[in-house]
Structure 1
């Protein structure tokens, strides 16, 4: 059960499309890309089953006000470091350890390899497990899994789609902006 037993959520527009944000009394618990009605409904079902609470739509939620403000500032290019309370209850064990290291140790405008992150958490050789941890990240953008790339310079995978990853890396100055805007 979540802190206070309530999960509040809303969908906000961003430069990478609609994002579903959900928060508990402990903090931001979920960020979901491409939050169309179908994606939103699946995400809410997952929250309901994983957290044991009925998600409540709350666009004016005090819990969500600061995440909304900080994400808007990030996409405007005026915020480089998120300072939000995070609820880690959707991640555990090795995945949580890797995601916390990522959040603390790979700053805006930098990237790290999957193997490098594995070494940082004391598990050299666990690059594939790091990739799985990135894929399970319940807090993308805020916990910046888009900053994890392949050793050979490839962009790697991304749950939000490679174009979304490319857009986030371009926003942070890691990749050039596209030659032609869509």
Structure 2
């Protein structure tokens, strides 16, 4: 399960409710074409995407094993969490309408914080799209959801993701243990970035 940032922020009740409302009514147009909130109709496409180890092996909070049943439950759980203003599970659809990627945004409104995880289809990796998509998502989370802090994790041996996160300006803050849905633990590199630092970096 996603864990909130090490740094503890305290949101006012008004700020927290504004974040919850932004999650419930999220306008995805700023994320680029083909983005949609995951629905049950996307389950077969998500299963096909995540069944590829090149896509899913790096990601700690996916349902395991990846089956139609487990992914259906995952989508339904995140639909409920969206209504609570605490998560967004998004899919990216290619020109053929197939699921070519996904993003999962965990949100802690009372702490004005969020965490992002996601992946794109193996044939689209290493084309320079991942970094640009990550940067667009970071900006959207800060600007449209209104959180003041983001955290990210990556597996110790996931060098490609680590380089992308470093390049985006996130600050390494050591390591943390993350818990997979099956209860096992994965040691991960850990980063944080504030909205103020993101805005400063992108004003330069």
- Coarse TM-score class (shorter-chain normalised): 0.3 to 0.5
Question: Greater share of strand residues, 1 or 2?
Answer: 2
TM-score, scaled relative to structure 1? 0.34
Structure with the larger RCO, 1 or 2 (CA within 8 Å, 6+ apart): 2
